[in-house]
Amino acid sequence: MAATETPICDFGWKAPDFALKGVDGRTHRLADVAGENGTLVIFMCNHCPYVKAILDRIVRDAAELKALGVNTVAIMPNDTEAYPDDSFENMKALAEQKAFPFPYLIDETQEVARAYGAVCTPDFYGFDAGLGLQYRGRLDESKRETASPDVRRDLFEAMRQVAQTGKGPDSQIPSIGCSIKWREE
């Protein structure tokens, strides 16, 4: 399974709206999940080893960012017929098992992932209070294995900066992960 990297941050690019079904049974729009000081949109899935390696850290960072006025939402974009581990029922089970402090949504048509230009799981989009892109980088230096506990928390530090100043860091290291599993046209 070849790893894919995210492109560099397009500062100020506006977050596309969405209306997606969550594992909580509700439909969530971007405006519903936007935070007072910023919004983190994560494209992720259940089966990807890169996501599995950092999932506990994603949950930790999302909870800590909420205290800074930054809300998080996770979107699962993969073809669930080809990848049944990513099914809606399995999404529900994972969200409950890990006690996600954020909505976990399914992008059944894959239109939202395409609108965002998402390329891999995990793919992180950090937006400012006005929903302009300020961060498109990695969580930390973890790859398919979890990095040591004392590594720099790139995503958390970037989003703290966004919450405090409205601007993301000039230097960002791309996220790496499994390519999104697109449906065959």
Segment 49-72, tens digit of pLDDT:
999 999 999 999 999 999 999 999
Q: Which domain holds residue 9?
A: 3-168
Domain total in the chain: 1
Report yes or no on 123 lying in a domain. Answer: yes
Report yes or no on 111 lying in a domain. Answer: yes
Residue 5 has pLDDT above 90, yes or no: no
Distances (CA, A) of 55 to 35, 68, 114, 143, 171: 21, 20, 23, 12, 24
CATH number at residue 85: 3.40.30.10
Report yes or no on 184 lying in a domain. Answer: no
Q: What is the pLDDT of residues 78-118, one digit of tens each?
A: 999 999 999 999 999 999 999 999 999 999 999 999 999 99
Contacts of 8 (CB under 8 A, 6+ apart): 136, 172, 174
Q: What is the share, in percent, of the chain residues with pLDDT greater than 70?
A: 98
Report yes or no on 140 lying in a domain. Answer: yes
Report yes or no on 108 lying in a domain. Answer: yes
Report yes or no on 176 lying in a domain. Answer: no
Report yes or no on 28 lying in a domain. Answer: yes
Res 2: pLDDT:
66
Report yes or no on 181 lying in a domain. Answer: no
Global pTM value: 0.97
Name the residue among 103, 119, 120 with its Cα closest to residue 34.
103
Tell me the C-alpha distance between 141 and 158, whole Å. 14
